Structure 1
């Protein structure tokens, strides 16, 4: 029997009282299972953190000695038990080390996705479809009107201009994916990387991910070369240089409002769109879908009485 209160939304985050742990808590807790290392899912200061090796490495870089008191590194598919709840992690395809969290309790399987995508990405493990009775899915882009274009065709847009490009991207996950894609599909381009992104790039490489050629940003290089440079910068830098001259401004994201005022729109997302969520529901084959990190109302309307869809937030 599905326990309707197996996972509940609290001000601290998603809580499993049966196992006495949180999923991606928003503030420090005693026991946390962390799906991936993005800041809205992985805060520092937890007592005990269960996660993959890459997630630990990224958190340790970002939070230093405050990352966690204790890390418990888990390989994909390895089962561990917290207060009677059997837990295993599976690849989520969102970024390196990102995980789905499968929780089994009294014969019922609950699958928490964290953030995930189905699209191919050479810089992280591909999404694994896991059967479950309850699918707890992110709904960042759960709208029938939202359908992400093919990422490879999007990145090829950068070949449309010879001008230097200031390319805004999140420092962890998105930047590394873009470096690899540019090297594969925009071979004439020369990649410069903002210094704040470089440590995450180095961690990817230390973990065996080959991204291709890039250079740490050098102002003289940018000044002396007027064509075919791509300078990858984090959002704060991108938005602070909104009047930057002699560059084409582009921001890589699935959000339409972040494409405003950019010379080229680059719709590259690391989240599932509407069709990908429906495909996930089909392959996971749950009896119920619980939604989080966004709005699940469109899913409720779509499935109607065919499938129970419950909003956790």
Structure 2
């Protein structure tokens, strides 16, 4: 999710810093998902982690400004939070984050701050997920029970989630999956960054041979649904099961044979855990259900507002009072 038009003004850092968009003199790119990398495509001056720069194909990077540091966000490989400090005042912009570690990156770091600008994708008390360990265990049992007699097609976001699913299949199930050409290209970038991912690129002689008997594949989520599985079943002359791994599986019936609530975002419980550890004086709820999250936090006694209530600029002098 994107925080539209919000800019951060830090004293002694002359440019307004655009947070995950390109409408600023200097841009912070929190991670490499395409809805956060408009600054890369616009060739704007930007800063990010080395992993994000590599995954987003950024040609150049601006030095991280004075008074700003980057913290791990746990959303995907290279994802970062922005932490700004001046004269004893501090602000954290989380971007998309997750506290629990995944198979391809560590969980989010937390620093105490005066103002917390926090993503609220799952900013509702109803959005509390099972533990990651429990979800992965259910996935492992399902794959092991079905992979010998069926083709299994996992749908996943091309960058981030797809690589975690490949890593899961490698490490938990001992399976080397077929992957789409785009997912394979990003897996190669992950390997350049130190994450080993065993897979076979679709369209190769090896993948064509694998598809003659039950196999497991990871494909872009937009392509994977029950209709796709049925069509592929006829083409391959074998039963095909489809699956998705998404936090939305917790609340919605997704159009696949099996859905698992494996999210790369913090759920409501993790958001509260983050707030408890960061001890902010003020919370700006953004990136999703900001107004709903702010309402619930106010009921719990926090000084919280939605990003829609503050306009497009956050000035540390004003926000941190």
TM-score range, shorter chain: 0.7 to 0.9
In structure 2, the partner of 1:6 is none
Give the C-alpha shift of residue 301 in structure 1.
2.6
In structure 2, the partner of 1:174 is 161
Is 1:236 the counterpart of 2:227? The answer is: no
Supply the distance in 1 between the matched residues of 2:182 and 2:3 (Cα, whole angstroms).
33
Supply the distance in 1 between the matched residues of 2:18 and 2:47 (Cα, whole angstroms).
10
| TM-aligned CA distance change 1:177 to 1:30, over 3 Å | same
In structure 2, the partner of 1:63 is none
Greater RCO (Cα-Cα under 8 Å, separation 6 or more): 2
Give the C-alpha shift of residue 302 in structure 1.
4.1
| Counterpart selection for 1:247 from 240, 257, 280 | 240
| Counterpart selection for 1:95 from 40, 61, 76 | 76
Give the match's secondary structure for 1:71.
coil
| TM-aligned CA distance change 1:198 to 1:29, over 3 Å | farther
Give the match's secondary structure for 2:127.
coil
| Counterpart selection for 1:294 from 288, 295, 312 | 288
Give the C-alpha shift of residue 130 in structure 1.
1.0
| Counterpart selection for 2:202 from 213, 217, 227 | 217
Supply the distance in 2 between the matched residues of 1:221 and 1:275 (Cα, whole angstroms).
45
| RMSD after superposition | 2.3
Is 1:53 the counterpart of 2:23? The answer is: no
| TM-aligned CA distance change 1:29 to 1:154, over 3 Å | farther
Q: Is the 8 A contact 1:165 1:248 kept in 2?
A: yes
Q: Is the 8 A contact 1:97 1:125 kept in 2?
A: no
| TM-aligned CA distance change 1:220 to 1:122, over 3 Å | closer
Supply the distance in 2 between the matched residues of 1:267 and 1:238 (Cα, whole angstroms).
16
Question: Which structure 2 residues correspond to residues 21-100 of structure 1 after superposition, within 5 A?
Answer: 21-25=17-21, 27=22, 29-43=24-38, 44-60=41-57, 67=58, 70-72=60-62, 80-81=65-66, 86-100=67-81
Give the C-alpha shift of residue 145 in structure 1.
1.0
User: Mean Cα displacement is larger for which, 237-246 or 285-294?
Assistant: 237-246
State the TM-score, normalizing by the size of structure 2. Answer: 0.81
Supply the distance in 1 between the matched residues of 2:112 and 2:3 (Cα, whole angstroms).
26
| TM-aligned CA distance change 1:154 to 1:105, over 3 Å | farther
Supply the distance in 2 between the matched residues of 1:121 and 1:30 (Cα, whole angstroms).
34
In structure 1, the partner of 2:256 is 262
| Counterpart selection for 2:274 from 280, 285, 295 | 280
Give the match's secondary structure for 2:195.
coil
Structure 2 gap ranges (5+): 234-238, 309-321
Is 1:136 the counterpart of 2:117? The answer is: yes
State the TM-score, normalizing by the size of structure 1. Answer: 0.83
Q: How many equivalent residue pairs?
A: 283
Please state which structure has a larger fraction of its residues in helix: 2
In structure 2, the partner of 1:64 is none
Give the match's secondary structure for 2:77.
coil
| Counterpart selection for 1:183 from 157, 160, 170 | 170
Is 1:14 the counterpart of 2:6? The answer is: yes
Give the match's secondary structure for 2:62.
strand
